[in-house]
Amino acid sequence: MIDLRSDTVTRPTEGMRRAMLEAPVGDDVFGEDPTVNRLEEYVADLLGKEAALYAPSGTMTNQIGVHIGTNRGEEVLLHEGSHIFVYEAGAPAMLSGVQLRTLPGENGVLDSETVRAAVRSEDVHFPRSRLLCLENTHNTSGGKVFPLEDFAAVATTAKELGLKVHLDGARLFNAQAATGVPASEWCAHADTVSVCSSKGLGAPVGSLLAGDEETIGGGRRTRKAFGGGMRQAGIIAAASLYAFENHVDRLARDHEHARNLASGLREAGYEAREPETNLVLVAVDDPPEFLRALAREGVLATPGKSGYVRLCTHLDVCDILGTEEGIQQVVTACLRATETISSIKG
């Protein structure tokens, strides 16, 4: 099977497993796990922030960001296709008692005018607009990069309007690899930033929330309340540390494989968007049926936006997709899946 469902399917490498085995540990709820402490310092530095907090998942670090950036009854502005809105099980309402206001924007990019128009005036009838959440790269738009200039502009507007800014940077290092712009440059415009080690970086688990000391101090309390206080967490934090130290630069290879795959698919007659990072969106007639037929041909993928399927390149398929034969194997599987569907539908 060639598993292109997500970059979350990667398994720890040998080096990563060794780092886990050898990690010094302690009780992290007491702040005594040396590996977690090292990871938090390393990631805070990487993102240009004062402090960082280790948590089990990107959903948790996003939700801690939402919780500490708002008060109950307030409103969060975010893109209509954002992970926090679409894929986090209604957690902002469940955990923080806030309301979400979704906004349109091409490729996941929100602009200043849209945000300005959405911010509520002071009136007892209205919820208070409090937090703007931005996402980079943007998952449902096919891994699009939020251009730094646009990001800075909308974040500056948000701050002028009295909002805090949270960045869902689950794949922020893909944006760095695609553009050469250091991740910290986007982070400079956000109050809190969530980054994941368990996506393209290849760790089995773990995300971090970064911000200033005081904010992250508050986040530590919220993490405990959300059930994310872990004890000898160094054993898994070691995998995240290894991922940040060793796997950031290799993301460029996943992007190259995604471009090669998209171009192979276009040559075979598909409408495949030119990927900026590691997600390839391919237009097909009947995505659910296509995905079932594709699985029978030995390739796994997921639904993309409406009318598309999504193929994701990552560490565990690096060797296969690094060859022309590997790319052709996936293209051929797609062609066979399309043929199967056409023959069924007559």
Site for ligand PLP contains 139 (CB under 6 A): yes
The strand pairing partners of 129, in sequence order, are 75
Near ligand PLP by CB under 6 A: residue from 12, 58, 200, 219: 58
Enumerate the β-bridge partners of residue 102: 78
Task: Supply the minimum distance, in Å, between the C-beta of residue 273 and ligand PLP.
Answer: 18
**Residue 230 interacting with ligand PLP (CB under 6 A):** no
Instruction: Give the sheet arrangement for strand 279-283, strand by strand.
Output: 279-283, 308-312, 302-303
Residues 86-115 that bind ligand PLP (CB under 6 A): none
Q: Is 20 in the site for ligand PLP (CB under 6 A)?
A: no
Instruction: Using the minimum distance from each CB to ligand PLP, give the nearer residue, 91 or 335.
Output: 91
3-class secondary structure, 187:
helix
Question: What is the side-by-side strand order in the sheet with 99-103?
Answer: 51-55, 207-211, 192-196, 164-169, 129-135, 75-79, 99-103
Q: Is 63 in the site for ligand PLP (CB under 6 A)?
A: no
Q: Which of 10, 35, 59, 63 binds ligand PLP (CB under 6 A)?
A: 59
3-state secondary structure of 104: coil
Min CB(184)–ligand PLP separation in Å: 19
Which residues within the stretch 152-171 sit at the binding site for ligand PLP (CB under 6 A)?
A: 168, 170
What is the rounded distance in angstroms from the CA atom of residue 66 to the CA atom of residue 54? 16
Asked if 277 is part of the footprint of ligand PLP (rule: CB under 6 A), the reply reads no
Contact between residue 242 and residue 19 where contact means Cβ atoms under 8 Å apart: yes
**H or E element at residue 175:** helix 172-179
Residue 285 CB, shortest distance to ligand PLP, in Å, is: 26
Residue showing tokens 């237009």: 283
The window from 21-29, 56-64, 173-181, 318-326 that contacts ligand PLP (CB under 6 A) reads: 56-64
**Least separation in angstroms between CB 254 and ligand PLP:** 15
Residues 6+ apart with CB under 8 A from 137: 108, 143, 144, 145, 146, 171, 172, 174, 175, 178, 276, 277, 279
**Under a CB-based contact definition with an 8 Å cutoff, are residues 331 and 34 in contact?**
no
Q: What values do phi and psi take at 124, rounded to 5? A: -60, -20
Least distance between ligand PLP and beta carbon 135 (Å): 5
Closer residue to ligand PLP (CB): 35 or 61: 61
Q: Is 198 in the site for ligand PLP (CB under 6 A)?
A: yes
Please, which residues bridge with residue 23 across strands?
none
Give the one residue of 165, 172, 187, 196 binding ligand PLP; rule: CB under 6 A: 196
Residue from 57, 102, 179, 246 that binds ligand PLP (CB under 6 A)?
A: 57
Selected from 49, 67, 79, 83, the binder of ligand PLP by CB under 6 A is 83
Q: Interface residues with ligand PLP (CB under 6 A)?
A: 57-59, 62, 83, 135, 139, 168, 170, 196, 198, 207
